[in-house]
With several copies, the nearest count.
Chain A
Amino acid sequence: MADKKTPQLDELQNGQWPSFVTEIKRAAVKNEASKDLLHLLERSYEEKRGHWKHGGIVGVKGYGGGVIGRYTDLPEDYPHLQAFHTVRINAPSGWFYSTDSLRKICDIWEKRGSGLMNLHGATGDAILLGTTTDQLQPIFDELSEEGFDLGGSGSDLRSPSCCVGPARCEHACYDTLEACYNITNAFQDELHRPMWPYKSKIKFSGCANDCTASIARADCAVIGTWRDSLIIDPEEVKKYAASGMNIQHVCDGCPTDALKYNAETQELSVIAKDCSRCMHCINRMPKAITPGKDRGATILIGGKSTIVQSAFMGWVIVPFMKMEEADDFEEFKDVITRIWEWWDENGKTRERIGETIYRLGMSKFLTEVGLPAVPQMVYRPRANPYVFWPEDEIKK
């Protein structure tokens, strides 16, 4: 159906934003499947519906995940889309690439797939979009050859991701790229071989700005912070003042009222114990204010989207943890392993860890995983008096 028209998609080549239609057409020149995709998509635009079936179990030797199977429900009309699977490549920390690395992917994908990809998927993988079942193993073999590995899918550890961190950001409170790389390598089995009640995700953000949206999108969010006081450079404060910045206005935005400015003396000060490390003032005055020296991360658990019980944002389970390459991120690995084990024992099928804790209670979770209960875990204590008392705290 090469010469069938695609008026609706053509319209989407107009406008100033770069067009995915143009991209599909570029691929279609070299690849039949991409050409079929163009026409199938036009049909979807006409009928206002997708034409993909549930994926069957397809994959590569030795792994349970990394591939999403896809088949069109109209194989007669679009024969090259009969099978059109996705291959997820675990992207490098911070999505940094040498052009060599990217070109290697392109070369393999040109030979063995549609030539279309997502850079990147919402979880962070480099997604090779559309190939046939027989190509899966060769693709994996060749990618592997070039040093790449597959990402997660199914009920396993999904490919962890991290913000640009120390590579290009002055706010990074720990090495997000190294943490992500090191920890991803430490849990390769969990990542490649689904064995849990459901998926589990980790995202690393270097500070409370949370540029990976980890609190919303990761079962485990690792958010950089510090334990001492943020640091103020008086000289730079004066320069900002000279530049006409309204520094009082910055103080007004401080949620804890911890930041004080004296307009006469042009002195800025912080009440360290009141500061909640929200990053606001540092964001506004990066030259003058920097995070403290005793740095680490806050660990939050439970983030996920809507299905089934409602969206959950991650909540604090460890207020401060050191995140050092020096000790191989030992404490984090230890805690997350205990958490996964607990979830594995207690979670129902298709129940994210946040839902499991919600169902069974933080008290049970903390006790069994061995984390101390602290007020930082909650915005406020319980309003109901429905406290459970363990046998041993009761008089017999």
Chain B
Amino acid sequence: MAILDQGPLNYKENIPPIIVDNYGKWRYHENPKAGVLKHVSETGAELYSIRVGSPRLVSIDFVRDICKLADEYCDGYLRFTTRHNVEFLVSDAAKVEPLIAALGAIGLPVGGTGASISNIVHTQGWVHCHTPATDASGVVKAVMDDLYEYFVDMKLPAQLKMSLACCLNMCGAAHCSDLAIVGVHRTPPRIDHEKIRKGTEIPSLVACCPTGAIRPNPKEKSVLVNEAKCMYCGNCYTMNPGMEIIDPQNDGIAILVGGKVANARTNPMFSRMVIPFIENNPPRWPEVTSAVRNIVETWAANARKGEKMGEWIERIGWERFFTLTGIEFSDKLIDDFIFSRETFRTGAAFKYE
């Protein structure tokens, strides 16, 4: 029988000796090369963290492989980052290059630090979720293959943090990322009255719609949807399987850019939509990868050093962003929900292009 409420493992028993000894004593760090962080302690101790790209969806074999390396090079400890990269914690400088070589041997990339693109925070997609408008792991693989050079090198103006969410629930931080890839549905739910009648709390189903598009349908003991009001968020489907939202022909991907969460220099910002829809084109989503590359490289070519995507766009103005990237602007990009007012240009000063 399981012990209830014993809580997570104690981190104290899962950190390497060098961290036990230097816990809270770190003085500064350097970033000698992509994927390698050197942290120096008051005690003089030096810790090398080797950041490794992971597919995040891994097999036990993968975990055992990295454990093996951690035993060999890191006194039997490792960690994962908030972006699902693996970090090997090396206390002996001499072991850094050999570890990197060993990682290369099993095909694991080292990078993602500093002014680079790190791993993409992502979600389940077709692998495990019931509401996705696109896949997660596949799109991430395609995009990271394409932008690989920016993971293993630090040649960008600043860090670039990407997220992918496969539906509007937006698991992950898509709403505040430098670049976000979001799965979107584009057709109203198809109602299965049968399913709905099966013990649905009609009032709460009606209430769950952000735009009030759902009304009760007493005749059917079910609901009906005012399609003119529906913007396909899928919240009703999350609530109730009878509101089928998946539509392979019309589901796809939207691109948002310019979000951030750190407070450095500028306040946190939301990501904002610049491409409302790109068709799902597995297995490599070429239209998505090239759209992403275009945005990343336009930013890289024009931003000042240290300027995050959103900071660059806010400086030059969104109108200029569309000119430089050649992305087409349309009414779909103009907010029409609750907080639209703050997005309207309530001023006469703007650039023509």
Please say whether chains A and B are actual partners in one complex: yes
Mask: chain B, 163-179; 1 = CB below 8 Å from A; 0 = not: 00100111111111000
Q: Which among A117, A130, A209 is the interface contact of B263 at CB below 8 angstroms?
A: A209
Q: Which among B61, B81, B126 is the interface contact of A44 at CB below 8 angstroms?
A: B126
Within 8 A of B (CB), among A70-124: 70, 84, 86, 89-103, 105-106, 109-110, 115-120, 122, 124
**Complex: how many Å from CA A17 to CA B52?**
11
**Complex: how many Å from CA A324 to CA B345?**
25
Residue B98 at the A interface, CB < 8 A? no
Mask: chain B, 117-136; 1 = CB below 8 Å from A; 0 = not: 00001110111111110010
Q: Are A387 and B276 in contact (CB under 8 A)?
A: yes
Tally inter-chain residue pairs, CB-CB below 8 A. 522
Return chain A residues, CB-CB under 8 Å to B23: 166-167
Residue A337 at the B interface, CB < 8 A? no
Return chain B residues, CB-CB under 8 Å to A298: 348
Q: Are B129 and A94 in contact (CB under 8 A)?
A: no
Return chain B residues, CB-CB under 8 Å to A275: 351
Q: Are A54 and B241 in contact (CB under 8 A)?
A: yes
Within 8 A of A (CB), among B301-353: 306, 314, 317-319, 321-322, 329-353
Residue A50 at the B interface, CB < 8 A? yes
**Complex: how many Å from CA A303 to CA B184?**
22
Q: Are A213 and B171 in contact (CB under 8 A)?
A: no
Q: Are A12 and B10 in contact (CB under 8 A)?
A: no
Residue A3 at the B interface, CB < 8 A? no
Q: Are A385 and B28 in contact (CB under 8 A)?
A: no
Residue A216 at the B interface, CB < 8 A? yes
Interface residues on A, range: 35 or more
With A18-B54, A149-B5, A387-B276: A300-B173 Cβ-Cβ less than 8 Å: no
Q: Are B80 and A381 in contact (CB under 8 A)?
A: no
| Interface residue count on the B side (C-beta < 8 Å) | 159
Q: Are B168 and A307 in contact (CB under 8 A)?
A: yes
Q: Are B204 and A349 in contact (CB under 8 A)?
A: yes
Shortest beta-carbon distance, B274 to chain A, in Å?
A: 6
Q: Are B60 and A48 in contact (CB under 8 A)?
A: no
Return chain A residues, CB-CB under 8 Å to B53: 17-18
Minimal Cβ-Cβ distance residue in B for A71: B130
Return chain A residues, CB-CB under 8 Å to B8: 89-93, 148-149, 159, 181, 184
Q: Which among B70, B78, B130 is the interface contact of A53 at CB below 8 angstroms?
A: B130
Residue A135 at the B interface, CB < 8 A? no
Residue A4 at the B interface, CB < 8 A? no
Minimal Cβ-Cβ distance residue in B for A172: B24
Identify which of A63, A172, A278 gathers the most chain B CB atoms within 10 Å of its CB.
Answer: A278
Within 8 A of B (CB), among A353-383: 358, 360-364, 366-367, 373-383
Q: Are A310 and B348 in contact (CB under 8 A)?
A: no
Mask: chain B, 94-127; 1 = CB below 8 Å from A; 0 = not: 0000000000000111000000000001110111
Return chain A residues, CB-CB under 8 Å to B171: 122, 305
Return chain A residues, CB-CB under 8 Å to B138: 12, 20, 45
Shortest beta-carbon distance, B39 to chain A, in Å?
A: 6
Stretch at the interface among A139-147, A327-335, A339-347: A139-147
Q: Are A45 and B282 in contact (CB under 8 A)?
A: yes
Minimal Cβ-Cβ distance residue in A for B346: A313
Shortest beta-carbon distance, B20 to chain A, in Å?
A: 9
Residue A264 at the B interface, CB < 8 A? no
Residue A11 at the B interface, CB < 8 A? yes
**Complex: how many Å from CA A18 to CA B140?**
11
Shortest beta-carbon distance, B257 to chain A, in Å?
A: 9
Q: Are A306 and B175 in contact (CB under 8 A)?
A: yes
Q: Which among A26, A51, A115, A361 is the interface contact of B336 at CB below 8 angstroms?
A: A361
**Complex: how many Å from CA A92 to CA B130?**
28
Q: Are A45 and B126 in contact (CB under 8 A)?
A: yes
With A20-B137, A149-B6, A215-B347: A98-B109 Cβ-Cβ less than 8 Å: no
Stretch at the interface among B216-224, B242-250, B291-299: B242-250
**Complex: how many Å from CA A172 to CA B175?**
26
Mask: chain B, 56-83; 1 = CB below 8 Å from A; 0 = not: 1111111110011011000011111110
**Complex: how many Å from CA A119 to CA B66?**
12
Q: Are A273 and B352 in contact (CB under 8 A)?
A: yes
Q: Are B5 and A278 in contact (CB under 8 A)?
A: no
Q: Which among A26, A86, A148, A164 is the interface contact of B61 at CB below 8 angstroms?
A: A26
Minimal Cβ-Cβ distance residue in A for B306: A253
Within 8 A of A (CB), among B256-292: 256, 258-259, 261-268, 270-274, 276-277, 280, 282-284
Shortest beta-carbon distance, B12 to chain A, in Å?
A: 8
Within 8 A of A (CB), among B13-37: 13-15, 19, 23-24, 26-29
**Complex: how many Å from CA A44 to CA B138?**
11
Return chain B residues, CB-CB under 8 Å to A217: 172-173
Q: Are B78 and A99 in contact (CB under 8 A)?
A: yes
Residue A235 at the B interface, CB < 8 A? no
Q: Are A381 and B333 in contact (CB under 8 A)?
A: yes
Minimal Cβ-Cβ distance residue in A for B237: A54
Residue B154 at the A interface, CB < 8 A? no
Q: Are B70 and A99 in contact (CB under 8 A)?
A: yes
**Complex: how many Å from CA A375 to CA B58?**
43
Residue A67 at the B interface, CB < 8 A? no
**Complex: how many Å from CA A279 to CA B261?**
13
Mask: chain A, 314-327; 1 = CB below 8 Å from B; 0 = not: 11100110000000
With A17-B144, A170-B27, A382-B340: A387-B332 Cβ-Cβ less than 8 Å: yes
Residue A230 at the B interface, CB < 8 A? no
Residue A153 at the B interface, CB < 8 A? no
Residue A287 at the B interface, CB < 8 A? yes
Minimal Cβ-Cβ distance residue in B for A361: B336
Q: Are B241 and A378 in contact (CB under 8 A)?
A: no
Shortest beta-carbon distance, A30 to chain B, in Å?
A: 8
Return chain B residues, CB-CB under 8 Å to A200: none
**Complex: how many Å from CA A89 to CA B9?**
10
Return chain A residues, CB-CB under 8 Å to B5: 149, 188-189, 192
Shortest beta-carbon distance, B9 to chain A, in Å?
A: 4
Mask: chain A, 181-201; 1 = CB below 8 Å from B; 0 = not: 100110011001000000000
7 more CB-based (< 8 A) A-B contacts, given A18-B55, A350-B204 = A97-B78, A97-B80, A122-B171, A167-B19, A209-B264, A316-B347, A375-B322
**Can you name 14 A-B residue pairings with CB atoms under 8 Å?**
A20-B57, A20-B137, A22-B55, A45-B135, A50-B125, A98-B13, A102-B67, A117-B60, A120-B56, A276-B350, A279-B262, A280-B264, A306-B170, A348-B207
